[in-house]
Structure 1
Amino acid sequence: MDPFSFPPLAALLDAAYGALAGLATFFEPFTGASAAALAVVVVTLLVRALLIPVGISQAKAEQTRARLAPRLREIRKRHGKNPERLQRETMQLYRDENTSPFAGCLPVLLQAPIVGILYTLFLRTEIAGHPNELLSHDLFGAGLGTSLVHMLAAGPFSLPTLAVFGGLVAIMVVVAEVTRRVFRPAPVDDTPLSSPGMLRMMSALHYLTAVFALFVPLAAALYLTITVVWTLVQRVILRRRHPLPV
């Protein structure tokens, strides 16, 4: 079942298409076939700017969790053999501090629908019954509606597509490595999270966006690339303003 056949979602997709196509039309005299790519960049920057307050709250939540870490370890020592009491005491501590163990997940949750809409916009040949003109746009000769995996599996082969995806994925991998090194989580004593296997898995999660980008249309991969770069820069700035306790 196609979720975008549901009238409200179909109207949302059509509105998103109209807005992005309008931006592309505005930029087309200056950028030609890359107008839609520039429109995606502008939309990404706008979304990230709107999410700055959320990023600030995320940095504060991270600072609070680091400050609470010694008290959480003490709770685990006291009630480690009583899972129900452990959970109750842990949640009470978070309530007393007016925070949550899930604080900071909001940016990811808010951006998921945007990536989904971009994915759909550059996947369909028709939007609300009219031709999808966004698919005629490209970035340095790579079609915005093409995914790297689809090109390699079903063809036709395109060197510009391979080069553009290679550049975007390389940027995401570098950002992931810098993020992994700079924002390495502090080990937590006597918990499953401190095991070598869990730490390796958490490190690997930094590269998940780069892997995901291989399967989505180029427009969505462009959005993801700008997002991870913005996120890294924002985290560095906010970490300086909200440093973690030593």
Structure 2
Amino acid sequence: MLAFAPLHGVVGAAGTALSWLTDLLEPLAGGMATAAAIVLLTIAVRLLISPLTVAQVRGERRRAALAPQVRDLQRRYADDPAKLQSEVFALYRSAGANPIAGCLPLLLQAPFLLVLYRLFTTSEGGTGLLQERLAGVPLGHHLGDGLTGAAGPLFAVLLAVLLALAWWSSRRARRASAAVGTVAGTPTEGPGAATLGRLLPLLPFTTVLVALVLPLAAVIYLVTTTAWSALEQVVLRRPQTAPASTDIDRR
């Protein structure tokens, strides 16, 4: 239990914040106040990590711009994989294009999802949250608990939205991959890179699989954060004009 003491404190604080926000929204949202509070907290989390997302997109553009130089290095060091990897990462560092930084926005969301899961599956956040419902369905309800009443239609709608967002994100990922080449800017090409290029467009569909084992409250979070990511793709990954691209290349 001691190992989970810090997490217990975070869950308790999150429960207090969520309860306060629910009370604030109840005059406007009524029985949907807790669900609305989850949506607002999710948006707040995404706003906090938005600078990292912007940096991620800039890094992707820099790596795409470096693709010709990477291919040149691949030709020069085709017989020396260790030297090739060293030279490619040195090129990335000099251009400020860290390939690992793209994982940070996703990793930083994981603790919030864990806290939300515990809020609605344990009493750590207070017993009041365990009684909250959406359309008559407890927010701690899992698919495995049954699909009777409003649970079936509610989960069907949320999963359909997640599936539609995953399809849209996957389609954009395929187009982006085709535009810059198969995983352009990676240290190596060949069968491994080709396999990775086929797997990347499938990653958005993992949100649908994860939603199958999460409580309703966490599924609401997934729908909100996935929709936010789709909006970010439209805004941040829109086609660049020539002057803007030149500016990014200089940096």
Pairing 1:17-36 to 2, within 5 Å after superposition: 17-36=15-34
Fraction of identical pairs, as percent = 36
Unaligned 5+ segments in structure 1 are none
The alpha carbon displacement at 1:55 in A equals 1.8
The equivalent position to 2:165 in structure 1, one of 160, 169, 175, is 175
Which residue matches 1:213? 211
Which residue matches 2:58? 60
The equivalent position to 1:127 in structure 2, one of 107, 113, 124, is 124
Unaligned 5+ segments in structure 2 are 246-251
The equivalent position to 1:161 in structure 2, one of 151, 154, 163, is 151
How many residues matched? Answer: 234
Output the CA distance in 2 between the equivalents of 1:10 and 1:243. Answer: 49
Secondary structure, counterpart of 1:127 in structure 2:
coil
The alpha carbon displacement at 1:141 in A equals 2.1
The alpha carbon displacement at 1:229 in A equals 0.9
Which residue matches 2:226? 228
Output the CA distance in 1 between the equivalents of 2:196 and 2:18. Answer: 41
Output the CA distance in 2 between the equivalents of 1:17 and 1:134. Answer: 8
Q: Tell me the C-alpha RMSD between the 2 structures.
A: 2.2
Structure 1 residues 58, 188: CA separation in 2 closer, same or farther (over 3 Å shift)? closer
Q: Say whether the 8 Å CA contact 1:33–1:139 is kept in structure 2.
A: yes
Higher mean C-alpha deviation, range 165-174 or range 30-39:
30-39
Pairing 1:104-123 to 2, within 5 Å after superposition: 104-123=102-121
Secondary structure, counterpart of 1:81 in structure 2:
coil
The equivalent position to 1:91 in structure 2, one of 84, 89, 102, is 89
Structure 1 residues 239, 220: CA separation in 2 closer, same or farther (over 3 Å shift)? same
Which residue matches 1:141? 136
Higher mean C-alpha deviation, range 110-119 or range 50-59:
50-59
Secondary structure, counterpart of 2:162 in structure 1:
helix
Q: Say whether the 8 Å CA contact 2:183–2:197 is kept in structure 1.
A: no
The equivalent position to 2:201 in structure 1, one of 203, 213, 229, is 203
What one-letter code is carried by the residue in structure 2 that aligns with 1:192? Answer: P
Q: Say whether the 8 Å CA contact 1:59–1:235 is kept in structure 2.
A: no
What one-letter code is carried by the residue in structure 2 that aligns with 1:223? Answer: Y
Q: Say whether the 8 Å CA contact 2:170–2:201 is kept in structure 1.
A: yes
Which residue matches 1:192? 191
What one-letter code is carried by the residue in structure 1 that aligns with 2:190? Answer: T
Q: Say whether the 8 Å CA contact 2:171–2:201 is kept in structure 1.
A: no
The alpha carbon displacement at 1:2 in A equals 7.8
Cα deviations across residues 133-175 of structure 1 (Å, max 9, x unaligned)? 1121112222110121x22xxx4x4231221111111111111
The equivalent position to 1:40 in structure 2, one of 17, 38, 41, is 38
The alpha carbon displacement at 1:107 in A equals 0.8
Output the CA distance in 2 between the equivalents of 1:113 and 1:236. Answer: 26
Q: Say whether the 8 Å CA contact 1:122–1:135 is kept in structure 2.
A: yes
Higher mean C-alpha deviation, range 199-208 or range 10-19:
199-208
- TM-score normalised by structure 2 residue count: 0.85
The alpha carbon displacement at 1:22 in A equals 1.1
